[in-house]
Amino acid sequence: MSIWAVVEHGQALQAIERASREPLGSEVLLDVTHAGVCHSDLHFWKGYYDMGGGKLMKLAERGVVLPRAPGHEVVGRISKLGPQAQGLELGQLCIVYPWLGCGQCDVCRSGQDNLCMKPNAIGVLQDGGFGQQVSVPHPRFLVDVGAIDPAFAATLACSGITVYSAIKKVMPLRPDEPVVLFGAGGLGLAAISMLKAMDHRQMVSVDANPAKAEAALQLGASHFVDSSQPDLIGRIQALTQGPVKAVVDFVNHSSTAAVGLELLQKNGKLVLVGVGGGEIVLSLASMIFRPRTVQGSVTGAPSDLRDVVALAQSGKLRPIPITRMPKAQANQALHLIEEGRVSGRIVLES
Ligand SMILES: [Zn+2]
Ligand SMILES: [Zn+2]
């Protein structure tokens, strides 16, 4: 099979050949039909994350070996079933749960594969949706697409479950209690749509690019705040009538997380999701006088994918804007994201 692979970090992806293999045991092989392009594919391509304090974490330190096909938002058609793969049909169109762990530890056995300390994620540590085929170790990592648009369905495997899992961490809230959302890119927009589908009514979307206001408001944000203008905290709190219980930061950069922490009321929670990078200074005494929780959140569990797909199939979850491109334009897609020119998600089609 051919894959579009990162051969050298920061250099153009190349189409290379990989031997395909027969599925063993409970493994399932799929022909990729759709692959969403996520901001973390951009980090994967560049080869590092900004860890704050001038430190970079290189992907090689996380066990990534090149060449590797990125792409963890995958929809594919089942082409081969291992002898013990039960409950699926050849030709079935499925969403792939990509956040695989070791499959052996207590965390994996409890269904929290995304929290395994020995990750084996598709599109990171094994070839992903930028290739022609992907395989999963067990049918439990596949969810039938049903009647949803498969390009939208692909985005549920990362942006969908990531926002769902992050929102669950700030719940329960009354529908009219404000949730402040930093970032109106793929994740921020998906979060607005998700909260709306959960019948929430007060979503304040914050982004440095005012061109993103329209998409945010159309998906159901109650307000859009341009973070490039002065007095950001004052302007947000004028809309929320004071400090808030819930902030989800999909940028997770020094500039946004610091504001997020400052916006919180006593017992409020800041959930950090993006990988913008940097660091914040935490006044320790302030955590006593105004106790708050800062919680990190990474993707979601297989059960979250099932929940999100069910929500999408119910028709309540409105798709984020999707730009379809042929897979051969994978390089162009990464450049568009790098330049911040994408509203919503690019999905590569095979
Ligand atoms: Zn992603
Ligand atoms: Zn594990």
- Please give the distance, rounded to the nearest whole angstrom, from the Cα atom of residue 341 to the centre of ligand 2: 37
Classify strands 203-207 and 179-182 as parallel, antiparallel or unpaired. parallel
Q: Are 319 and 194 in contact (CB under 8 A)?
A: no
Q: What is the pLDDT of residue 288?
A: 97
- Please give the distance, rounded to the nearest whole angstrom, from the Cα atom of residue 119 to the centre of ligand 2: 7
> What is the overall mean pLDDT for the chain?
95
Q: What is the pLDDT of residue 340?
A: 81
What span, in angstroms and rounded, lies between the C-alpha atoms of 228 and 158? 28
Q: Which residues pair with 68 in a beta bridge?
A: 6
pLDDT in tens, 250-291: 999 999 999 999 999 999 999 999 888 899 999 999 999 999
Q: Which of 204, 186, 196 is nearest to 259 (CA)?
A: 204
- Please give the distance, rounded to the nearest whole angstrom, from the Cα atom of residue 223 to the centre of ligand 1: 26
pLDDT in tens, 131-162: 999 999 999 999 999 999 999 999 999 989 99
pLDDT, mean of residues 321-332: 95
Query: Residue 343 above 80 pLDDT?
Result: no
Q: Which ligand is nearest to the CA of 118?
A: 2
What is the share, in percent, of the chain residues with pLDDT greater than 90?
Answer: 88
Give the CA diameter of the chain: 62
- Please give the distance, rounded to the nearest whole angstrom, from the Cα atom of residue 36 to the centre of ligand 1: 8
Q: Which of 144, 72, 199, 88 is nearest to 313 (CA)?
A: 144
Q: Which of 204, 216, 277, 200 is nearest to 43 (CA)?
A: 277
What is the set of domains in the chain, with CATH numbers?
Answer: 2-158+300-349 (3.90.180.10), 160-296 (3.40.50.720)
Say what the pTM is. 0.92
Task: Supply the DSSP symbol for 288.
Answer: H
